[in-house]
A = this chain, B = another copy of it.
Amino acid sequence: MPDAAIGLNAVIVAVTEEVPRILTVRREPPAGGPAEDALPFGPLEPETDRTLDRGLRRWVREQTGLELGYVEQLYTFGDRNRDPRESHGGPRLVSVAYLALVREVSVSGDARWRDWYEFFPWEDWREGRPAVLDRAIAPTLERWAAGATEQRGRLERRERAEIVFGLGGVGWDGERVLERYEILYEAGLVPESRRDLIQRGEKENLHSESSEPPLGRPMSLDHRRILATALGRLRGKLKYRPVVFELLPPTFTLLQLQRVVEALSGVGLHKQNFRRLVENAGLVEGTGRQDAETGGRPAELFVFRREVLRERPAPGVGLPGVRRG
């Protein structure tokens, strides 16, 4: 079998101060130039790593000092030329990406935590519909659709943009993070589009659809695609498995819980209905103790009820009462 190498990528997520953060490292682009943000990456050691996720835990520990708890496989990325070094004789690079949820926030090395909405500003609807959607994205996508070579292609692009960005009457689907990123990439709205075209020497395709500055903070290689996959997957999983609790301290107030769910799902929730849902679902249990708090009536501290796993087939936090106004 010809040359192929297997790597492992980690999307390590924590939520602190209502900000969802991911762990990034700095990395020189293969073509040279200033360092970019990248997801932590490590090789699989076929001889010693019994399973893929053990391999992942091993090198995350070695590189950042972090001991991972909850870990879940995300997706395997294997397109040709994900890494431009392939065109210069490098092996085909296949990366298995993992999602990890952690509580603590102390890291070593060149690792640092970044707000993941820096990478996807259009995904944060907590303060309402992000202005960038109507200001920059919608008009540029319209131009992109109009620029397709055939009638059919124009219709397809327009429909795709409408569905994925919820532009027509369609609602916004928080889980379609990757599809949105991919459209923006194709439409030349993110810095990576331009970078990759130059890297592949296809300068003739550099007809930027937009006069807008490119959107969001770029990442090395295809790492922003991996990150988009992670965000979408996590948003989906929240609804039917109690994964949020991996991100919370053992004891928390209901508002803290709500803030973490909101940070991840990117929408604001109706407070009373959120509590009702969480309590009726049997996900939490009051401890009787109260929070040291921050002004206002003290909040009760809760813990996660592990028993819920035995009582319900698919307990999740769901997204009740998305705030309208």
Contact = CB atoms under 8 A, between A and B. Distances in A.
Interface of A: 1-6, 43-47, 49-52, 73, 75-76, 78-80, 91-92, 94, 96, 159, 162-163, 166, 168-173, 175, 309-314
**Looking at chain A's contact residues, is the secondary structure mostly helix, strand, loop, or mixed?**
loop
Nearest to A171: B313
Contacts of A52: 76, 78-79, 94
A310 B6 contact: no
Contacts of A80: 46, 49-51
B4 A46 contact: yes
Copies of this protein in the assembly total: 2
Contacts of A173: 313-314
22 contacts: A1-B5, A1-B6, A2-B46, A4-B4, A4-B5, A6-B6, A6-B78, A6-B94, A44-B78, A46-B91, A50-B80, A51-B78, A52-B76, A52-B78, A52-B94, A94-B94, A159-B310, A162-B310, A163-B309, A168-B310, A170-B310, A171-B312
A290 B83 CA distance: 54
Given A1-B46, A166-B313, A169-B311, 17 more contacts: A1-B6, A1-B91, A2-B47, A3-B46, A44-B78, A44-B94, A50-B79, A51-B79, A52-B76, A52-B94, A76-B76, A94-B94, A159-B310, A163-B309, A163-B310, A169-B310, A172-B313
Contact of A170 (B1, B96, B311): B311
A309 B166 CA distance: 10
A46 B93 CA distance: 9
A314 B168 CA distance: 15
Contacts of A43: 1
A159 B311 CA distance: 11
> 5 nearest interchain CB pairs?
A173-B313, A46-B92, A52-B78, A171-B313, A76-B76
